[in-house]
């Protein structure tokens, strides 16, 4: 099972989603977001929106109330 974390870009204010794996302490994440446009160092983690399961990540993306990258979101739905 994959872990999903949300990072808000400090440059564009857009939120992107990072994919990683669950670990004993939480989860890790790849250096670049799903759409590859943003690196971890270019944004800030959104508190409460890290280490989510796929379904949780979909719900967060739908309810987050700020712009979420469409390419990253569509990936959450493309894996079925």
Q: Which of 3, 51, 69, 76 binds Zn ion (CB under 5 A)?
A: 69
Considering beta carbons, is residue 27 or 33 the nearer one to Zn ion? Answer: 33
Q: Which of 2, 12, 28, 35 binds Zn ion (CB under 5 A)?
A: 35
Q: Of 17, 47, 23, which Cα lies nearest the Cα of 35? A: 17
Q: Is 57 in the site for Zn ion (CB under 5 A)?
A: no
Q: Which of 29, 52, 61, 72 binds Zn ion (CB under 5 A)?
A: 72
24-30 contacts, C-beta under 8 A, 24 or more apart: 26/50, 26/51, 27/3, 27/51, 28/3, 29/3, 29/5
Residue that the structure tokens 């508190």 belong to: 47
Considering beta carbons, is residue 25 or 36 the nearer one to Zn ion? Answer: 36
Q: Kindly list the residues in this chain that would bind Zn ion in the complex (CB under 5 A).
A: 16, 33, 35, 69, 71-72
């Amino acid at each position: 099972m994959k872990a999903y974390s949300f990072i808000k870009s400090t440059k564009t204010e857009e939120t992107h989603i990072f994919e990683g794996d669950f670990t004993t302490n939480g989860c890790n994440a790849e250096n670049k977001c799903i759409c590859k446009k943003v690196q971890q160092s270019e944004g800030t983690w959104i508190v409460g929106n890290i280490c989510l399961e796929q379904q949780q990540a979909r719900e967060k993306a739908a309810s987050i109330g700020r712009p979420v990258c469409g390419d990253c979101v569509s990936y959450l739905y493309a894996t079925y």
